Structure 1
Amino acid sequence: MARQELARFLRERREELRPQTVGLAPGTVPRRTPGLRREEVAELAHMSVDYYTRLEQARGPRPSPRVLDALAGALRLAPAERSHLFRLAGSAAAPPARTAVRRVRPHVAGMLERMPGTAAIVTDASYGLVAWNPLAQLLFGGDLGHGTTNLARRRFLGQGRMYTSSSAGEFGHIVAARLRRAAERYPHDARLAALLGELHAGSAEFRRVWATHPVHAPGHRTKVLDHPELGRLRLNCDVLLVPEDDQEVVLITADPGSASAHRIAELAARV
């Protein structure tokens, strides 16, 4: 029974994926179904087509953790889906994921575009920006929008920062707390390790905050920032979690009717 459940899970996930989702060209040969072909999954997972086919047909041997990890990456499984795959295969527990998820789900990115009056960003587990809307780009400027922004680097190394904020101290503790959790969850993530190395080498403040083992819970916070063009703004920051990808959606607004809200509205009119 377990083999059949594993086979069904692999087949259904393969059929849900699209070539462009995993970086493959659609190709010129018509597809009988819109999902990936077995040979494409096998190639992405670095295994033979015959072995993968036997897994989908419930004829293969129990896959090893290494094989399961490769399949999870090839099928773009979220952390919860990855754990489910390991359970179906009879493994007691899934080992830590190798890397944080650094892509944003289309429906999350679409949500940002449907809120033109709200500045919105999505950050991954290492505080890299993986999505943002035009108002956020106008509001926070700097390197935002280039696809290389990391809020931890902005906060502690000053990379791309263009304003001062009343919540800088609190945000520093938030950053360190989240990066500590990420380091525990993704011990094999080379990009995360490199980021932590940069922060430790380049910021005495980060080293001090890191050593305190800070803890924080995402939620509602208010900050006052000095924008170089709009002046002083009082903003509300509300965090929505995307737990399956270990990401956070941050919504930035101002109190209705306030001077800050009018300035944000003027900025939004440019979008």
Structure 2
Amino acid sequence: MNRAELADFLRRSRTRLAPSDVGLTAGARRRTPGLRREEVAQLAGMSVDYYTRLEQRRGSHPSRQMLTALARALRLTADERDHLFHLAGEEPPRAGSPSAHVRPGLLLILDRLHDLPAQVLSDWGEVLAQNTMAVALSGEHTGENLVRRYFTDPAVRAMIPPENYATHARAHVAHLRAVVAARPDDPGPAALVAELRGVSAEFEELWASHEVSVRRAATKRFLHPVVGVLDLDCEVLLSDSHDQQLVVHSARPGTDTYERLELLRVIGVQDLSPTKR
């Protein structure tokens, strides 16, 4: 690990970004160009103290997950991401791995969607990046897999009307089957299928049916614990290589859902649960 070079690269990458480049407001009294350290830490999901120590050449060896988060926070290109990994003494992730790099162009669009829930997914369901509205809608799930969560985490289905369970399950499995067939040499999707066939009888039954489809635009109903029922239009925008998807949820103006989505934007990720005594 080259602490001096890593510190210099992080600092220079931070100072070349404006707050607007990452979806933040500039605010007042910015004496130096670029992002503040606390802003990078917030975007990467780490403590300010840890990030500060990295820039001061005294931080501990960052994990691969932390390096991936820093690459996204600093909007690094694929080459810059690889350089970051090398400075930390790590081999960069290979293409198609769970930590696939989100291109800065997709992140730029994600940052501009201030009032709509949006996230970047790999084609087999890995959550690569979320905006604040997506976190407010369904929680922070960057680094997790949506298909795995749907079949193993009861909290996911708590946000979906019971009459829609089967439709969502079939769509997840049919899309995953299409991905596995398209990329038979990629161990990630195949391993996910093997895992879920072993832990979910529902997944096993659907997999045996051999239905195939790809994720497309749809209307989805969410049961949000604070703002209530949301009927959202879901649009799926594909990257050039079709291995990453920008999924955006929106509501039609004039509807109850439109008003509730605006309320969700105002509330954000505040914890509005009753105070425990």
Which bracket does the TM-score occupy, shorter chain normalised? 0.5 to 0.7
- Structure 1 pair 137/177, CA: closer, same or farther in 2 (3 Å)? same
SS at match of 1:188: coil
Secondary structure of 2:205's partner?
Answer: helix
In the alignment, structure 1 residue 104 sits paired with structure 2 residue 102: yes
Give the TM-score taking structure 2 as reference length: 0.60
Is 1:238 matched with 2:238?
no
Counterpart pick for 2:84 among 19, 23, 31: 23
Does the 8 Å contact 1:100/1:126 carry over to 2? no
Q: How does 1:1-271 map to 2 (within 5 A)?
A: 18-24=79-85, 99=97, 102-141=100-139, 144-145=140-141, 147-158=142-153, 161=156, 162-165=158-161, 167-271=164-268
Instruction: Name the amino acid aligned to 2:84.
Output: G
C-alpha distance in 2 between matches for 1:17 and 1:102 = 10
SS at match of 2:238: strand
Write the letter of the residue equivalent to 1:134. Answer: T
Do the aligned residues in 2 keep the contact of 1:19 with 1:26 (CA within 8 Å)? no
> Structure 1 residue 126: deviation in Å?
1.7
The answer (yes or no) to whether the contact 2:178–2:212 under 8 Å persists in 1 is no
Aligned residues: 190
Residue identity opposite 2:206 in structure 1: V
**Residue aligned with 1:138, SS:** helix
Moved more, 124-133 or 223-232: 223-232
Q: Tell me how far 1:20 sits from its aligned partner.
A: 3.5
1:121 touches 1:249 (CA, 8 Å); kept in 2?
yes
Give me the whole-angstrom Cα distance separating, in 2, the residues matched to 1:111 and 1:158: 30
- Identity, in percent, stands at 29
Runs of at least 5 residues in structure 1 that lack an aligned partner in the other structure: 1-15, 28-42, 46-72, 77-97
- Contact 2:239–2:245 (Cα < 8 Å) also in 1: yes
Q: What amino acid maps onto 2:176 in structure 1? A: L
Q: Against the structure 1 CA distance between its residues 211 and 118, is the aligned structure 2 distance closer, same or farther, given a 3 Å change threshold?
A: same
What is the TM-score when the length of structure 1 is the normalising length?
Answer: 0.61
Contact preservation (8 Å) 1:222, 1:234 = yes
Q: Over alpha carbons, which structure has the higher Rg?
A: 1
Q: Is the 8 A contact 2:126 2:145 kept in 1?
A: yes
Structure 1 pair 243/177, CA: closer, same or farther in 2 (3 Å)? Answer: farther
Does the C-alpha gap of structure 1 residues 217 and 107 become closer, same or farther in structure 2, counting only changes over 3 Å?
same
For the structure 1 residues 270 and 232, does the alpha-carbon distance in structure 2 shift closer, same or farther, using more than 3 Å as the test?
A: closer
What letter matches 1:164 in structure 2?
A: I
Q: What is the alpha-carbon distance in structure 1 between the residues aligned to residue 221 and residue 91 of structure 2?
A: 47
CA contact (8 A) 2:217 2:235 kept: yes
Gaps of 5+ in 2: 1-76, 269-277
Distance 2:248 2:113 in 1: 9
Asked if the contact 1:127–1:150 (Cα under 8 Å) also holds between the matched residues in 2, the reply is yes
Which 10-residue stretch deviates more, 114-123 or 165-174? 165-174
Structure 1 99/260 Cα, relative in aligned 2: closer, same or farther at 3 Å? same
In structure 2, do the counterparts of structure 1 residues 114 and 19 end up closer, same or farther at CA, with 3 Å as the change threshold?
closer
